[in-house]
C-alpha cells in the first residue's frame, strides 16, 4: 500500500469520523446528508485535480471507497423485497377494499406513464434547442467497444414487446423473484404481495381467528423490517460521501467538455421535468417549496448512487414520515416507479438519443411522422425498465431498434454516462414520489398535519419504527 493511498484513505476516514460525530450528536438527517455530499464533492474534486484522470492511486482509493458506497447500496437492495412484501400486505389488510387498491394502482401507474410522455417531449425540445446531432462525432476505442456491446444487446431489446413485458410481471416463482433474479422481480413481488393480501382479506369474515393471527404475524414482521430500514438508513451520509467522491475522482473534465452540449441539454431537460413535478404538486394544493425541502435527502442519494431500485426504502420513508402519504400508496409508487415510467432514464434519455441519431441515416427528426411514434414508443417502452445501472441503456435500445436507428452510435456518450445518469436517476425517484403524492392527495388520504409540519423528521430515527 503506497503512501499516497494511505493518505487518501486517512482523509476519507477522517471525513467519515466527522459524519459519525454528527450522528452521535443527533444532528438532523438532512444536515448529515448535505455534509456527506459536500465532503464528497470537495474530496473527489481534490483527488482529480491532484492525481489527474486515469491515476492508479485514484483507482486504488476508489476500490476502498467502494466498500462503503457500493456496500451501502447493497444493504438497501437487501431490504427492498422484505419491505415491499410486508408493507403492501399490511396496507391491504387495513384497506379490506379491492376498489381502493384499483384506484391507487390506476392513479400511480397513470401518473408515471403520463409524466414519461411529457419527459420525452421535453427531451425532444431540448435536443432541438441545443442543436444536438450525432453527425460528425468521432469515436474513441472505448466508444467503439461500447457500440459493439450495444449491438450485441440489440437482439434482446428487439424481443421485448408490451405483451411479453406484462407477462414477465406475473410471478411464476415468487421465491425466485424474492431474490431479485429477474429485471421485473420487483413488480412480480408487488403482485404476489397483493395476491397474498387480498387472499387474506377474503377469509376475514369466514375465519376471523386465522385472519387475526395472520394480521398479527404481518404486523410483527413489519416492525422488524422497519427496524432494519432504520439501521440501514443511518449509513446514508457515509454512502453518499463515498459514492460522490468516487464519481468526481474518476471523472474526466476533457470528456465532459467534449460533449458539453449533450450534458447541458440533458440537465436542462431534467430541470424542466422536475419543474413539471412541482407543478403537479402545486396543482393538488401542496406547497412545492416545502415538498422539495422534504424530499431532498432521497434525491441526493439517488443522484450519487445512480440506482432507482436502491432508493425504494428511503423513498417510502420520505413519503410516509415527511409527506404524509399512507404506507401502502408510498410502496406502490416507489416499487412501480423503479420499474416503469422512469422520467429520466426511460423518458428524456432515449428521446434525445433518437433525435440525435436520426439525421445520421437521413431522417428529419422534427416531423410529426417521426415525433409521434417516438413519444408513443418511449412511453410504452418505459414499462419494465430496470431500476438499476443499465436501465437507461436498455430503454434506449428498445426505442432505437423500434425506429430502425443505428444503436452503436449511442456508445459515443459512454465517457459522460455516469454524469448524466446521476441526474436521470434523481428525476426517476422524483417522478415516483410525485406519483405517490398525487395519488394520495387525489384519494384524500394525505396526512396534511405531517406534510405541513416544519419539524425536522430524521428518517433514521427510532421514532420511525412503528
Check which CATH number belongs to the domain holding 296 and give it: 1.10.3860.10
pLDDT digits (tens, 9 = 90+) for 368-409: 999 999 999 888 877 766 544 556 777 777 788 778 887 766
Any alpha helices (H) in 130-173, and if so which ranges? 141-158, 162-169
What residues make up the domain containing 355? 3-464
Q: Whole-angstrom Cα distance, residue 281 to residue 324?
A: 13
Task: Please report which confidence band the pLDDT of residue 141 belongs to, taking 50, 70 and 90 as the band edges.
Answer: very low
Determine phi and psi for 173, rounding to 5 degrees.
Answer: -135, 95
CA angle, residues 365, 369, 373, in degrees to nearest 5: 90
More confident residue, 70 or 389: 70
- Mean pLDDT across 104-111: 90
Is residue 350 a contact partner of residue 395, using CB atoms and an 8 Å limit? yes
- Mean pLDDT across 101-130: 91
- Tell me: pLDDT of 259 over 50: yes
- 145, 357, 398, 424 from 134: Cα distances, Å: 17, 5, 18, 20
Q: Whole-angstrom Cα distance, residue 299 to residue 20?
A: 22
Q: Whole-angstrom Cα distance, residue 317 to residue 433?
A: 11
- Tell me: pLDDT of 129 over 80: yes
Element counts in the chain: helices (H) and strands (E): 20, 0
Task: Please report which confidence band the pLDDT of residue 290 belongs to, taking 50, 70 and 90 as the band edges.
Answer: very high
Q: What per-residue string of b and e applies to 282-299 under the rule 16 or more CB within 10 Å gives b?
A: eeeebeeebbeebbebbb
Task: Please report which confidence band the pLDDT of residue 450 belongs to, taking 50, 70 and 90 as the band edges.
Answer: very high
Q: Say what percent of the chain tops pLDDT 90.
A: 37
The pLDDT of residue 152 is 56
Q: Whole-angstrom Cα distance, residue 168 to residue 436?
A: 24
Q: Whole-angstrom Cα distance, residue 368 to residue 221?
A: 53
- Tell me: pLDDT of 145 over 80: no
Task: Please report which confidence band the pLDDT of residue 415 belongs to, taking 50, 70 and 90 as the band edges.
Answer: low
- Tell me: pLDDT of 333 over 50: yes
Task: Please report which confidence band the pLDDT of residue 249 belongs to, taking 50, 70 and 90 as the band edges.
Answer: confident
Q: Say what percent of the chain tops pLDDT 70.
A: 87
What domain count does the chain have? 1
The mean pLDDT of the chain is 84
Cell output for 152: 450485441
Amino acid at each position: 500500500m503506497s503512501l499516497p493511498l494511505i493518505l487518501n484513505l486517512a482523509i476519507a476516514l477522517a471525513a467519515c469520523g466527522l459524519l459519525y460525530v454528527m450522528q452521535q450528536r443527533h444532528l438532523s438527517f438532512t444536515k448529515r446528508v448535505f455534509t456527506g455530499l459536500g465532503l464528497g464533492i470537495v474530496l473527489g474534486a481534490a483527488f482529480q485535480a491532484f492525481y489527474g484522470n486515469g491515476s492508479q492511486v485514484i483507482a486504488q482509493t476508489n476500490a476502498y471507497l467502494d466498500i462503503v458506497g457500493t456496500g451501502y447500496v447493497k444493504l438497501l437492495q437487501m431490504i427492498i423485497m422484505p419491505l415491499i412484501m410486508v408493507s403492501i400486505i399490511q396496507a391491504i389488510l387495513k384497506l379490506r377494499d379491492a376498489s381502493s387498491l384499483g384506484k391507487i394502482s390506476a392513479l400511480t401507474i397513470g401518473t408515471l406513464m403520463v409524466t414519461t410522455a411529457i419527459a420525452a417531449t421535453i427531451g425532444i425540445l431540448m435536443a432541438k434547442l441545443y442543436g444536438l446531432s450525432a453527425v460528425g462525432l468521432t469515436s474513441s476505442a472505448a466508444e467503439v467497444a461500447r457500440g459493439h456491446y450495444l449491438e450485441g444487446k440489440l437482439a434482446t431489446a428487439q424481443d421485448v414487446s408490451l405483451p411479453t413485458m406484462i407477462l414477465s410481471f406475473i410471478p411464476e416463482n415468487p421465491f425466485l423473484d424474492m431474490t431479485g433474479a429477474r429485471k421485473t422481480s420487483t413488480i412480480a413481488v408487488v403482485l404476489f404481495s397483493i395476491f397474498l393480501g387480498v387472499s387474506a382479506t377474503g377469509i376475514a369474515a369466514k375465519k376471523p381467528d386465522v385472519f387475526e393471527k395472520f394480521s398479527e404475524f404481518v404486523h410483527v414482521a413489519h416492525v422488524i423490517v422497519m427496524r432494519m430500514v432504520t439501521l440501514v438508513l443511518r449509513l446514508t451520509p457515509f454512502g453518499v460521501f463515498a459514492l460522490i467522491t468516487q464519481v468526481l475522482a474518476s471523472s474526466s473534465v476533457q470528456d465532459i467538455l467534449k460533449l458539453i452540449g449533450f450534458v447541458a441539454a440533458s440537465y436542462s431537460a431534467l430541470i424542466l421535468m422536475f419543474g413539471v413535478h412541482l407543478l403537479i404538486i402545486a396543482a393538488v394544493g401542496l406547497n412545492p417549496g416545502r415538498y422539495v425541502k422534504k424530499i431532498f435527502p432521497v434525491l441526493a442519494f439517488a443522484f450519487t448512487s445512480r440506482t432507482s431500485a436502491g432508493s425504494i426504502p428511503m423513498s417510502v420513508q420520505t413519503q410516509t414520515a415527511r409527506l404524509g402519504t399512507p404506507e401502502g400508496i408510498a410502496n406502490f409508487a416507489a416499487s412501480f416507479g423503479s420499474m416503469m415510467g422512469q422520467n429520466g432514464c426511460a423518458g428524456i434519455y432515449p428521446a434525445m438519443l433518437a433525435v440525435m441519431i436520426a439525421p445520421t441515416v437521413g431522417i428529419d427528426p422534427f416531423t410529426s411522422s417521426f415525433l409521434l411514434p417516438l413519444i408513443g414508443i418511449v412511453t410504452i417502452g418505459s414499462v419494465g425498465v430496470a431500476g438499476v445501472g443499465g436501465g437507461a441503456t436498455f430503454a434506449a435500445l428498445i426505442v432505437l431498434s423500434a425506429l430502425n436507428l443505428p444503436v452503436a452510435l449511442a456508445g459515443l456518450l459512454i465517457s459522460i454516462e455516469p454524469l448524466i445518469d446521476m441526474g436521470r436517476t434523481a428525476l426517476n425517484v422524483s417522478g415516483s414520489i410525485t406519483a405517490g403524492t398525487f395519488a394520495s392527495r387525489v384519494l384524500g388520504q394525505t396526512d396534511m398535519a405531517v406534510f405541513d409540519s416544519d419539524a425536522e423528521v430524521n428518517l433514521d430515527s427510532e421514532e420511525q419504527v412503528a
